[in-house]
Amino acid sequence: MSHILVVAPNWIGDALMCQPLLARLRERNPGRSIDVLAPRSMAALFSRMPEVRETIATDFAHGALQWRARRRLARELRARGYAQAYVLPNSWKSALVPYLARIPRRIGYVGEARYGLLNLRHRAPKGRGEREPMALHYARLAEPPGGEPATPLPEPRLRIDREAALRTARRFGFADAPGRNAVLCPGAEYGPAKRWPAEHYGRLAAALGERGWAVWLLGARVDAQPCEDVVRAGGGRATSLAGRTSLDEAIELIGQADLVVSNDSGLMHIAAALQVPQVAIFGSSSPLHTPPLSARAKVLWLRLECSPCFERECPLGHLRCLRDIAPERVLQEIGGLGVLT
């Protein structure tokens, strides 16, 4: 039986927002396996999704055509005999490999005028703008063009081996129960307009430390400086692991946390998929577009007149959408999660 290929998004949050589509495809295609074509850096994430049989890792440089490498990969995929390919990124290049692989049905949004490369093309419904819920945007691809998926959509969920996660947590120094571990995620690769201020994170870390919590900062290597700023602002109450973990280790550490506080970032979506109690802080972006899909998540968003602007840096220079969210307000939300007692 021919199987399904999904060309995945390039960002962690987007990848988790596409998981409801994967679940719908599995429901609609019993007996067919789903393989994912994704950047090598994302392989650990897709390997934890129950809908995915195999992740085919790529090493394409951002913005590069790499024609020979794409043709070589297309030949390998052609030999696998996929019946359908779902192309989730909107770029022309992302649709090229399924086309060269001669996969019969190539499905996706028109994007960068991908006529010919795709032969079953969708358009976002008019009048809804470009900022509808991203999970819905992707899940619509499981329907005929113009159709709408049944709701509620399945929520993202990641598999985790609790014993392996416990070993990872102990290796990095997490407190064993009954000790409590809070993971703070001060980074957001998109830009400063999505980052709650370091001094706010520092005050929160100090408040949690005074209550006996072990406080850990997670992020990529590019988040090392923001995390060090938090360590200083918190008087050394937090320990930064930014850039010291693989994505797989970060997933396991979040899975062992008792609480996560994050910006709108990939780690926020991982915490939601692991059903960890969390507070998600939104600034320039919108929880109507990329919410943490978990009943155990609380969202803080001020809905200022200028928000959401979706800019990397505050165009007005005041960043009130984040600065006006006081650490005490976040502590109040944490209390509502029932984890402070």
Spell out the domains of the chain, with CATH numbers in brackets.
Answer: 4-142 (3.40.50.2000), 162-336 (3.40.50.2000)
| Helix (H/G/I), strand (E/B), else coil: 70 | helix
Residue-wise pLDDT tens digits, 211-257: 999 999 999 999 999 999 999 999 999 999 999 999 999 999 999 99
Higher pLDDT, 200 or 63: 200
Q: Is pLDDT at 127 greater than 70 in this prediction? A: no
pLDDT band at 22; cut points 50, 70, 90: very high
| Helix (H/G/I), strand (E/B), else coil: 47 | coil
Please tell me what DSSP assigns to residue 155. P
Residues 6+ apart with CB under 8 A from 128: none
Judge contact between 135 and 17, C-beta under 8 A. Answer: yes
> Average pLDDT for residues 13-37, to the nearest whole number?
96
Predicted local distance difference test score (pLDDT) of residue 126: 73
pLDDT band at 161; cut points 50, 70, 90: very high
> Average pLDDT for residues 45-72, to the nearest whole number?
91
Q: Is pLDDT at 129 greater than 70 in this prediction? A: no
Task: Give the number of C-alpha atoms closer than 13 A to the C-alpha of residue 313, restricted to the C-beta side.
Answer: 1
Predicted local distance difference test score (pLDDT) of residue 111: 86
Percent of the chain beyond pLDDT 70? Answer: 98
Predicted local distance difference test score (pLDDT) of residue 130: 55
> Average pLDDT for residues 285-302, to the nearest whole number?
96
> Which parts of the chain are beta strand (E)?
4-7, 34-39, 52-58, 84-87, 105-109, 120-122, 181-185, 214-217, 238-240, 259-263, 278-281, 297-300
The single-letter code of the amino acid at 224 is A
- For residue 227, which of 257, 266, 196 has the smallest C-alpha distance? 196
> Average pLDDT for residues 180-188, to the nearest whole number?
95
Q: Is pLDDT at 35 greater than 60 in this prediction? A: yes
Q: Is pLDDT at 61 greater than 90 in this prediction? A: no
Judge contact between 2 and 34, C-beta under 8 A. Answer: no
Predicted local distance difference test score (pLDDT) of residue 160: 96
> Average pLDDT for residues 288-308, to the nearest whole number?
95
Judge contact between 51 and 23, C-beta under 8 A. Answer: yes
- For residue 273, which of 10, 1, 19, 2 has the smallest C-alpha distance? 19
Q: Is pLDDT at 319 greater than 90 in this prediction? A: yes
